[in-house]
Amino acid sequence: MTYDQTHWMATRRKRPLPTFYYHDHFVEMLDFVATHYSHALLEEHARFISEFRQLSREAQCLYVRLVNRKGRVFAVDRLRYPELGDLVPLLDALCRRGWTGGPGIEHFDDVVGFLNRSETYDVLQPLVTGLSRSLKKAELVEFVLQNVSPADFIARLQTEKLLVQKRADLARYLLFLYFGRVQDGLAKFTMRDLGLVRTQDAQESYEPRFSDRSEALENYYYATRLHDLKRTRSLDQLAHETSDWPPTNYASSATLRDELTYRLGRRAEKHGNATMYR
């Protein structure tokens, strides 16, 4: 690296980020994908981009804040974004338009992973007798996932206190097209603005990495499962999906499928689940 490059990066790191930098990043990503990957979008992805642009700027900012947070479930009373003012009308607007909402049974895994140990016990007390209070959080989560029905668990929740980021899978796919890998959140944009990494360059000469929609979707399918394999609790679900894996018609997706097969097998052996494929 030359002196000029080092000096430029050091200078960039000293500059504070604009207040709504995260919104600028998300809009930049959407514009890039809409320009260079329109051929890889399903109708629902195009509708995501269109309907996001119809939100007020403040509501857009709040949704992007949720995209940048870890997980998909949040405590409403823990959301603090002073630059957006009163969040209540913004949350109402996002809920009315289907961008957020309360948890349902389809969010069971995410909710169980989000709640702390005490909150989980409060939900379980009416459902399970004699449950040991010495269980650690991980043990408690495992017990819930193995022994409690999603419908019963969600029914006992104070759902008005929880918020679920909806359309998360659609946002994830758009980020995947932009970065070429599964990327939760926009941290790399911030690192770019600080002069630490580079992201896409939206020049006219840019060549999309996926030639058509089916190639992009195949790669996304296997890339997301490789990413999710890092979560041990998803192991059984991922293993049982193997019979439903889509065929691979491209070398890139076949490579991801082979890597997923290998890593899934290794993880199954490690956890004593080698029989799950039989």
pLDDT over threshold 90, residue 100:
yes
Pick the residue with more confidence: 15 or 96? 96
198-205 CB contacts, 8 Å cutoff, 24+ apart: 200/32, 202/28, 202/31, 202/32, 202/35, 202/36
pLDDT band of 7, cuts 50, 70, 90: very low
pLDDT over threshold 60, residue 196:
no
Residue 22's nearest CA partner among 78, 82, 72, 66 is 66
Q: What is the reported pLDDT for 175?
A: 95
Q: Which residues are CB-contacts of 278 (< 8 A; sequence separation ≥ 6)?
A: none
With contact defined as beta carbons under 8 Å apart, do 165 and 95 qualify? no
Distance CA 273, CA 202 (A): 46
pLDDT over threshold 80, residue 238:
no
Q: What is the reported pLDDT for 89?
A: 97
Residue 74's nearest CA partner among 96, 51, 95 is 95
pLDDT band of 6, cuts 50, 70, 90: very low
Q: What is the reported pLDDT for 1?
A: 47
* Mean pLDDT rounded to a whole number for the chain: 86
With contact defined as beta carbons under 8 Å apart, do 123 and 112 qualify? no
Distance CA 104, CA 101 (A): 9
Q: How far apart are the first and last CA of the chain?
A: 54
pLDDT band of 145, cuts 50, 70, 90: confident
pLDDT over threshold 60, residue 150:
yes
pLDDT over threshold 50, residue 101:
yes
Question: pLDDT digit string (tens) for 153-162?
Answer: 999 998 889 9
Q: What is the pTM of this model?
A: 0.84
Dihedral of alpha carbons 21, 22, 25, 30, sign: negative
pLDDT band of 9, cuts 50, 70, 90: very low
* Mean pLDDT calculated for residue range 256-277: 76
